[in-house]
Each structure stands twice: as C-alpha cells, then as structure tokens.
Amino acid sequence: MPEIEKTLSKIGMTKNEIKVYLTLNKEGSSRAGTIARLAHTDRSATYDSLRRLIEKGLASFVMVGNVKWFQCTGPRRLREYLKEQEEELEKIIPELHRLHKIGKMEGQVRIFKGIKGVKSIFMDILRKGQDCYVFGSEGQFSQRLPSFAERYDRQMLENKTKTFMLVRKGTKKPNKRAAVYREIDVAESPAVTNIYGSAIAIIIWSEQPEAILIENPAAAQAYKSYFDFMWQRAKK
C-alpha cells in the first residue's frame, strides 16, 4: 500500500484524495460519512477530496433518494487521466519552449545536484541530437547508472550520433556501441567534461553527484578545440 500511495502522490493526488480514493476503491459505493470514517479524514476534507476526484473523472456519485452514494471509476481510469494530462501538456509545450528561449541568458550557468540532476544532463544531450565529446571519464556513468546508460547508448545510436571519449590510459572501457575511445596519459579525476553543441557539462561523480552546465557557444568552441588538440595526440 505505501508504494501505491507514493505513486498516486507522484501523479498529483493530495494525501486526503489518496485516502478517499483508496477507500472508495476498496469499499465500493459509499456515503460521505462512511468514507470519512474509513479514510480517517474529517467531513469537510472528505467532501473537498470527493469534489476534486469527481472533477478529475476518478470518482462519481448517484442519488438514492436524497442521499449521495460515491464510487471510484475504476483503476483503468487512472491511465486515461494521465493520458489526458499529457495531451494538455503537449498543447502548451511549444509556447513554453518559445518563452524559455527568449528568457535564456547568453553564457548561462546552471548547477544540477543528485542522480536526477545528472540524468537531466544526459537527456539534454539526447535532445540536442549532436555528437558529444568527453574527457576525464573513468566509466562512472555506466557504473552508477547501468540501465540508464544502456538506454542512453541505444538512443545515441538511433539518433545517429556518437560519443568521442578521451580516457585515462589503462581505464576499463564500457561496452558502448555509440562511443569511440582514445587513451591519454593523465591523472585520475572524479570530474568528467562533456561538450555538445553550444554547451559544456562538467559532471562531478562524488557520492552525491552534481553537474555544472555552461551554455555559451564561444566557451564550448574553446573546449572543443582543446579536446581536438588532445584527440589528435591520443592513442587509438
């Protein structure tokens, strides 16, 4: 049950909505007073939750005499509800994207923390759909996020893009079909630099990883020139 509650919370249901919904799902058609007692919510909160669930299409009611009997519309409706939310989101994405580009500052620097933050960097690389140039990698990406790294490699292949990696001499190389490796004689480091398009992402693979994203065409070009210089002198 905790896992169900956690998932329902992630899709936007409040704590009281979850209690009321799960009570309806278990008990079937019930009166508001019964729902409040079984869900351990006060009467006012129960009515508010029922109203919101009805608005979302996750609950309904019938009148029996002068009394309302409430019921949930079944678990499959949750999938339909999420699909409707996705469709609504798709309608506003183009305008949000336009505003995002307008408001973006030249030379913008952003910091991402934690595994989810680092994942967002790699998702950005995939979205840009350009080759990525990496130096300083010790295989941390594949070690820390093996399943995600496999999906990333597969998506790079589908995008017909490659990762060109300069790795420390003697480093074990992950089996990536979309990667090309060359070796250089440098010291081990937890920081990995990724250059793609007009962006530079420096990922620090500490216990709680974090990343610094620099979006600046001139800086990215300078880093790429430095990468090219090392690549030409690296061992195949």
Domain with CATH 1.10.10.10 in the chain: 2-74
What region does 57 belong to: left with phi over 0, alpha with psi -120 to 50, or beta?
left
Instruction: Give CA–CA dist 105/193, Å, rounded.
Output: 22
CA 119/CA 90 separation, integer angstroms: 22
Topology of the domain covering 105-233: Endonuclease; Chain A (3.30.870)
Using CB atoms within 10 Å of the CB of residue 46, give its burial: 0 to 12 exposed, 13 to 18 middle, 19+ buried. buried
Q: Are 112 and 121 in contact (CB under 8 A)?
A: yes
pLDDT tens-digit readout, 29-44: 899 999 999 999 999 9
**Fold observed for domain 2-74:** Arc Repressor Mutant, subunit A (1.10.10)
Helix (H) or strand (E) holding 218: helix 217-233
pTM above 0.95, yes or no: no
DSSP H helices in 56-113: 76-103
Q: Give the burial string for 17-37 (b: 16+ CB within 10 Å, else e).
A: bbbbbbbbbeeeebebeebbe
Domain with CATH 3.30.870.10 in the chain: 105-233
Question: What pLDDT, in 10s, does the model give residues 51-105?
Answer: 999 988 899 988 888 889 999 887 888 888 888 888 888 888 887 777 766 555 5
What percent of the chain is predicted at pLDDT more than 90? 46
